[in-house]
């Protein structure tokens, strides 16, 4: 069967090198299913793989896209638990920017209820990161104050969502009032714009202290790094936990050990995928937990935009330019975002 796919044929810093091609996809093997993809999440690792800057380097040519949802259209004779017509969500390291893909059933879950393809395609990575960070690494407790940086992005918005589910008071920071208004509408107790007139990040610590009666936040979720981390060290409660998720600012901060000592705080690194690789049982338990929360309607992925496969580069650019609120997706096979998708 011939399908359209957005292929990376050469490693380059310029994501415009991604090209739309028609390729032949074989029938699924005896232990595989073939999925007609409807929506594929757009994530930063997709950009990094095109640029050759990600730890996993797929063989050229490859299609980006590691989280996707669609319908099973063919099935191998050794497969059980799935059938043609099932709506499923799948994951792989790449291959999702395509009209179809063959996968092992172990990489699939049924889409619960009438959940949209877009939401199904965007929950896994972001919510797994937030779940591992807040529950396994950060031990967030009901009644504590959680400060979420980068709260308008995918992993940040997931942390806000899960933080409220876990019973915390959530303070969310971000770079624009417009984006933060979405986060506030989705449940954050307080929002803070940390952009400064000189273009730097920071300026939130006094507000956090005021909101916490001078104590500071109990748990700080930081995918930004740089000056945001530095300011966080000055508005954390005694015995608090700073969760280092990533460094979207591009700056690796240095922790002041005297602050760690005096306030007896913990600075904790979080790599959700590595947790599962080192402890497969814990990884499976974590993935099952967030899937159940999704099925029960207790978490709600936010999808702000969809781009057809032909405009996959535009989706990547939207993410690269920090214009995405929550998540965006690439759509195909006649699918477009439902009014309720976001």
Mean pLDDT of 32-40: 98
Grade residue 200 by pLDDT with cuts at 50, 70 and 90: low
What's the mean pLDDT when you consider all of the chain?
A: 92
- 314-336 pLDDT, tens digit per residue, is 999 999 998 999 999 999 999 98
Say if residues 244 and 268 touch (Cβ distance below 8 Å): yes
Co-location of 21 and 95 in the same domain: yes
What tokens appear for 200 in the block? 């730097």
- Whether residue 256 is contained in a domain is answered as yes
Domain containing 21 equals 2-123+301-331
Rounded to a whole number of angstroms, the distance between the first and last alpha carbons of the chain is 32
- Position 197 scores a pLDDT of 46
Residue 145 lies in a domain: yes
Q: Where are the alpha helices (DSSP H) in the chain?
A: 44-50, 117-122, 124-131, 154-165, 177-185, 205-211, 226-232, 257-263, 272-278, 280-295, 312-320
Q: Residue 229 — pLDDT band, cuts 50, 70, 90?
A: confident
Do 209 and 227 belong together in one domain? yes
Residue that is written with structure tokens 């099935």 in the block = 75
Least Cα distance to 145 among 128, 126, 166 occurs for: 166
Q: What residues does 173 pair with on adjacent strands?
A: 192
For range 41-45, the mean pLDDT: 93
More confident residue, 246 or 190: 190
* Assigned domain for 282 exists: no
d(CA 253, CA 257): 12
Half-sphere exposure of 136 (CA within 13 A, CB side): 22
pTM of the shown model: 0.90
Query: Do residue 104 and residue 208 come from a single domain?
Result: no
pLDDT at position 100:
98
Mark which of 257, 274, 291 sits at the end of a domain. 274
pLDDT at 79 over 50: yes
> Structurally, how many domains does the chain consist of?
2
Contact assessment for residue 310 and residue 20, using Cβ atoms and an 8 Å cutoff: yes
For residues 136 and 266, state if they share a domain. yes
Model pLDDT for residues 266-297, shown as the tens digit of each residue: 999 998 888 888 999 999 999 999 999 999 99
Q: Does residue 124 have a pLDDT over 80?
A: yes
pLDDT (mean) for 117-135: 96
Question: 207: domain CATH number?
Answer: 3.90.180.10
Q: Which of 80-89, 127-136, 166-175, 189-198 has the lowest mean pLDDT?
A: 189-198
Whether residue 156 is found in the same domain as residue 260: yes
pLDDT digits (tens, 9 = 90+) for 157-182: 999 999 999 999 999 999 899 999 99
What distances in angstroms separate CA 248 from CA 136, 147, 224, one per listed residue?
A: 23, 17, 5
Same domain for 76 and 45: yes
In the prediction, which pLDDT does 297 show?
94
Is the residue at 290 inside a domain? no
Mean pLDDT, range 59-86, rounded to an integer: 96
* Pair 203, 229 in one domain: yes
Shared domain for 84 and 137, answered yes or no, is: no
Residues 39 and 77 reside in one and the same domain: yes
72 and 147 belong to one structural domain: no
Structural domain contains residue 117 = yes
112 forms beta bridges with none
pLDDT at 340 over 50: no
Q: What is the pLDDT of residues 130-149, one digit of tens each?
A: 999 999 999 999 999 999 99
Are residue 103 and residue 133 in the same domain, yes or no? no
Rounded alpha-carbon distances, angstroms, from residue 341 to 117, 225, 227, 303: 8, 31, 34, 6
């Amino acid at each position: 069967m011939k399908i359209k796919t957005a292929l990376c044929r050469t490693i380059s810093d310029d994501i415009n090198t991604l090209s739309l091609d028609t390729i032949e996809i074989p029938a699924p093997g005896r232990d595989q299913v073939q999925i007609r993809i409807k929506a594929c999440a757009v994530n930063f690792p997709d950009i990094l793989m095109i640029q050759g800057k990600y730890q996993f380097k797929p063989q050229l040519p490859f299609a980006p896209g590691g989280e996707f949802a669609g319908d099973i259209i063919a099935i191998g004779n050794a497969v059980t638990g799935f059938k043609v017509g099932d709506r499923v969500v799948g994951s792989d390291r790449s291959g999702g920017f395509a009209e179809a893909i063959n996968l092992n059933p172990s990489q699939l879950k049924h889409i619960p209820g009438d959940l949209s393809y877009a939401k199904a395609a965007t929950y896994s990575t972001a919510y797994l990161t937030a779940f591992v960070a807040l529950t396994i690494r950060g031990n967030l407790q009901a009644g504590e104050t959680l400060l979420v940086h980068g709260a308008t992005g995918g992993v940040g918005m997931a942390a806000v969502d899960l933080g409220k589910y876990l019973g915390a008071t959530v303070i969310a920071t971000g770079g624009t009032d417009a984006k933060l208004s979405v986060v506030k509408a989705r449940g954050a107790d307080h929002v803070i714009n940390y952009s400064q007139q000189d273009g730097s990040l920071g300026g939130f610590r006094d507000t956090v202290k005021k909101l916490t009666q001078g104590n500071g936040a109990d748990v700080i979720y930081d995918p930004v790094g740089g000056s945001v981390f530095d300011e966080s060290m000055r508005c954390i409660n005694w015995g608090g936990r700073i969760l280092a998720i990533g460094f979207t600012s591009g700056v690796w901060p240095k922790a002041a050990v005297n602050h760690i000592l005096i306030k007896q705080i913990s600075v904790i690194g979080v790599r959700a995928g590595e947790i599962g690789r080192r402890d497969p049982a814990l990884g499976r338990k974590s993935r099952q937990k967030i899937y159940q929360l999704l099925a029960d309607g207790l978490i709600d992925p936010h999808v702000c935009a969809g781009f057809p496969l032909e405009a996959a580069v535009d989706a990547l650019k939207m993410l690269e330019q920090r214009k995405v609120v929550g998540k965006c997706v690439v759509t195909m096979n006649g699918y477009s975002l439902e009014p309720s998708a976001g």
